[in-house]
Amino acid sequence: MTTAAPREGGAVLSYVGLRRAVGLIGLLLPFVLVIGDQLLGEHGLRSSISSYYYSPVRDIFVGSLCAVGVFLFCYRYERPDAILGNITGGAAVAVALLPTVPPGVVTPAQRFVGTLHLISAAIFFVGLALFCLRLFVRGEPGGRKAARNLVYRICGWTIIGCLVLAALTGLLLPDPVKEEFETLFWLESLAILAFGVAWLVKGDTVLRDPTASSV
């Protein structure tokens, strides 16, 4: 009986730490990739977040996504969280290790791997949206729960909206327009920032209740 409370408190702290770590990576990743690429001699934005695999900051891109994947694998808050964490974490690792189609001449093998990358990225973002829209909004109302739920829903629908717009612009916009405005980069960045904000809020970084951890 004397050890139950400390163990429970430690578990809560570990979940809060995982949420904050995932959120911090999401919030910083687009900025770190762009700034790091610029500092190492490149100029201008790349066509997508995934295209930084072929840049001097590839290790940051791969390492960050693998870290998110590991954190999600370790996220065992409740059974639905564990299942969705496994799927989303696996997709994050696949996005990191299965590169997008490279610029220039592309082999059939590279195109196949690029297709797997796109599928994994879609699963990853849909999983993150489901965390926001279905799992994070659970719990009894009270304190700042309503405000947190509003943030989760805005972030979740932002991720979904970015996915839909990315698909539509990819199909409908001419390549010169996409290349000039880097539409995929901006949509991916916005989706990543949205998931970062949601996980930071879930980690009690902001909008926390005065005397209790958020649920």
Q: Is 182 left (phi over 0), alpha (psi -120 to 50) or beta?
A: left
Distance CA 30, CA 187 (A): 11
- For residue 95, which of 201, 191, 208 has the smallest C-alpha distance? 191
* Contacts by 66-70, CB closer than 8 A, 24 or more apart: 66/92, 66/93, 66/96, 66/97, 67/21, 67/25, 68/22, 68/25, 68/26, 68/92, 69/93, 69/96
pLDDT score at 1: 41
Q: How sure is the predictor about 4, in pLDDT bands with cuts at 50, 70 and 90?
A: very low
pLDDT score at 215: 55
104 Cβ neighbours under 8 A, 6+ residues apart: none
pLDDT score at 141: 80
pLDDT score at 142: 80
Q: What is the pLDDT of residues 95-120, one digit of tens each?
A: 999 999 998 889 999 999 999 999 99
pLDDT score at 7: 43
Residue by residue, DSSP assigns 126-175 as HHHHHIIIIITT-S---TTHHHHHHHHHHHHHHHHHHHHHHHHHHHHS-H
Distance CA 125, CA 122 (A): 5
Note whether 74 and 96 are within 8 A (CB).
no
CA 87 to chain centre: 13
pLDDT score at 2: 41
- Which residue is it, tokens 């909008």? 207
pLDDT score at 13: 52
pLDDT score at 104: 85
Q: What is the pLDDT of residues 12-26, one digit of tens each?
A: 558 788 889 999 999
Q: What is the pLDDT of residues 124-169, one digit of tens each?
A: 999 999 999 999 999 878 888 999 999 999 999 999 999 999 999 9
Q: What is the pLDDT of residues 162-208, one digit of tens each?
A: 999 999 999 998 988 888 889 999 999 999 999 999 999 999 888 88
87 Cβ neighbours under 8 A, 6+ residues apart: 123, 127
Q: What is the pTM of this model?
A: 0.89
pLDDT score at 207: 87
- For residue 99, which of 128, 62, 130, 127 has the smallest C-alpha distance? 62
Judged against a pLDDT cut of 70, whether residue 213 lies above it is answered with no
